[in-house]
């Protein structure tokens, strides 16, 4: 619809927009965002003992730069890590 001029803009998550824009001459991605997609790591009920491991793993992956490296290698642009509260 964008290519045919039936719509002027499209909103979705930033990584998808960057991927779409690669094949659309003149496309641009606006600053900011209109929503967030949250990713989560879960453990099954009854295995709460694994919670500390999961929390530590997530913190280490983010702090070590591994998450950023994986995003770059995957060509994922526009993703933003949640900030600690």
Report which of 2, 54, 49 is spatially closest to residue 16, judged by C-alpha positions.
2
Residue 83: the pLDDT is: 67
d(CA 59, CA 53): 10
The SS3 of residue 50 is: helix
As a whole-number percent, the residues of the chain with pLDDT over 70 amount to 95
Q: What is the pLDDT of residues 38-79, one digit of tens each?
A: 777 888 999 989 999 998 998 899 899 998 899 888 887 877
Residue 79 in tokens? 């993703």
Helices marked H in 22-75: 51-63, 66-74
Residue 41: the pLDDT is: 81
Map out the domains of the chain as residue ranges. 1-37, 39-85
| Helix or strand (DSSP H, E) at 47 | none
As a whole-number percent, the residues of the chain with pLDDT over 90 amount to 19
């Amino acid at each position: 619809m964008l290519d045919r001029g039936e719509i002027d803009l499209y909103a979705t998550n930033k990584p998808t927009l960057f991927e779409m824009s690669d094949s659309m001459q003149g496309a641009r991605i606006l600053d900011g965002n209109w929503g967030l997609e949250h990713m989560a790591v879960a453990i099954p009920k009854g295995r709460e003992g694994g919670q500390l491991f999961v929390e530590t793993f997530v913190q280490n992956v983010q702090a070590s730069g591994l998450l950023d490296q994986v995003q770059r290698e995957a060509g994922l642009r526009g993703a933003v890590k949640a900030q600690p509260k």
